């Protein structure tokens, strides 16, 4: 399988992630951030584990197990609690635009960890994309909820967790398998969330769900949890972290489209301009000029 295949399935994963952002925004009024994370990852793990067992996948071995579990708690636990908190302050489209800084943060994390060289072209792309993000988030405030900047700032901080996860996960996936790595990490994150939920009372919130909210919750776990991240780790197995993260620009498009249908969120010129700038910056960052022929 080629790197192009990895990028293609990452695009599908990012589209599912964008739809999950809109569904999360729909559920924000009925559930707290921990409950939403429990819904997504307990249901997701309940689907991923049987599939992994049936396919007899390779599992992380030795000291890889606690490392993969720690990555899972950081990403599936901490990241998604912050993610859901952010969606309580801002719109799905604006939060997803902040989330689309992932490829930039992935490159920075790779450079800081000595795994990826940060070139002038990549730095230029970072600058252009960040200008696009700030333009979209600072302009058109009339279409943003009060205090939306808090959600966007939380989302940018949360993305750092995912960037580190992307950079550090590939060696573990290569030593085991994409599905085995995902099952251990997602299971660890789901267990941590269940423990936190038991102490905070978040589990009891679901008793008040109506049928529409349960359908949304099941979609969140099955599509936004299991399917989206099976595809994501498969993409990381076949393509570089930066190229996979680059597909996150699809996320705001899916989020904005579905949110417009579900909760009537507006799609503004500033948002579209910011998205185009982010995409341009990421394209510059992830392509290198060919050397001139002698």
What is the tens place of the pLDDT at every residue in 266-288?
667 776 777 787 778 767 766 66
Cite the beta strand spans of the chain per DSSP E: none
> What is the tens place of the pLDDT at every residue in 125-155?
777 877 776 676 565 445 667 778 888 889 8
Q: Residues with Cβ < 8 Å from 65, sequence gap 6 or more? A: 59, 184
The domain tally of the chain equals 1
> Are the C-beta atoms of residues 96 and 86 closer than 8 Å to each other?
no
Residue 278 CB partners (closer than 8 Å, separation 6+):
97, 100, 101, 129, 132, 133, 249
Asked if residue 293 belongs to a domain, the reply is no
Residue 244 lies in a domain: yes
Nearest partner of 186 among 46, 91, 87, 286, judged by Cα = 46
Q: Please say if the pLDDT value at position 78 is more than 80.
A: yes
pLDDT at 85 over 80: yes
Q: 3-state DSSP call for residue 252?
A: helix
Report d(CA 267, CA 273) in Å as an integer: 11
259 pLDDT more than 70:
no
Residue 53 domain flag: yes
What pLDDT score was predicted for residue 65?
95
Tell me whether residue 15 is in a domain: yes
Contact 52, 118 (CB under 8 A): no
Residue 59 forms part of a structural domain? yes
Nearest to 101 by CA among 65, 126, 72: 126
Residue 292: per-residue pLDDT: 44
Q: How many H helices and E strands in the chain? A: 14, 0
pLDDT of residue 136: 66
Domain membership of residue 223 (yes or no) is: yes
- Give the pLDDT of residue 294: 45
**Within a domain: 292:** no
Domain carrying residue 143: 3-285
HSE of 172 in the Cβ direction (CA atoms, 13 Å)?
27
pLDDT at 81 over 90: no
Tens of pLDDT, residues 242-258: 777 777 767 666 666 66
């Amino acid at each position: 399988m080629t790197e192009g295949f990895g990028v293609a399935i990452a695009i599908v994963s990012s589209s599912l992630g964008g739809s999950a952002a809109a569904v999360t925004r729909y559920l924000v009024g009925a559930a707290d951030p921990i409950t939403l994370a429990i819904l997504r990852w307990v249901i997701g793990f309940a689907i991923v584990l049987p599939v992994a067992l049936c396919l007899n996948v390779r599992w992380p071995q030795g000291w890889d197990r606690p490392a993969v579990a720690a990555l899972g708690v950081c990403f599936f636990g901490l990241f998604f609690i912050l993610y859901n908190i952010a969606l309580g302050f801002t719109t799905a489209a604006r939060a997803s635009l902040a989330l689309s800084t992932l490829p930039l943060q992935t490159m920075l994390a790779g450079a800081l960890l000595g795994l990826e060289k940060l070139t002038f072209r990549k730095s230029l792309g970072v600058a252009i994309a960040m200008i696009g993000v700030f333009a979209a988030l600072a302009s058109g405030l009339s279409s943003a909820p009060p205090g939306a900047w808090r959600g966007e700032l939380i989302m940018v901080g949360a993305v750092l967790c995912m960037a580190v996860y992307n950079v550090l996960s590939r060696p573990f996936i290569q030593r085991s398998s994409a599905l085995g790595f995902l099952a251990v990490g997602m299971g660890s994150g789901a267990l941590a969330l269940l423990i936190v939920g038991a102490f905070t009372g978040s589990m009891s919130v679901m008793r008040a769900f109506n049928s529409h909210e349960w359908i949304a919750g099941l979609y969140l776990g099955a599509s936004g949890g299991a399917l989206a991240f099976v595809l994501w780790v498969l993409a990381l197995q076949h393509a570089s972290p930066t190229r996979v993260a680059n597909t996150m620009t699809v996320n705001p498009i899916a989020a904005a489209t579905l949110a417009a249908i579900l909760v009537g969120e507006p799609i503004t010129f500033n948002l579209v301009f910011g998205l185009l700038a982010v995409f341009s910056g990421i394209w510059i960052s992830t392509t290198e000029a060919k050397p001139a022929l002698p």
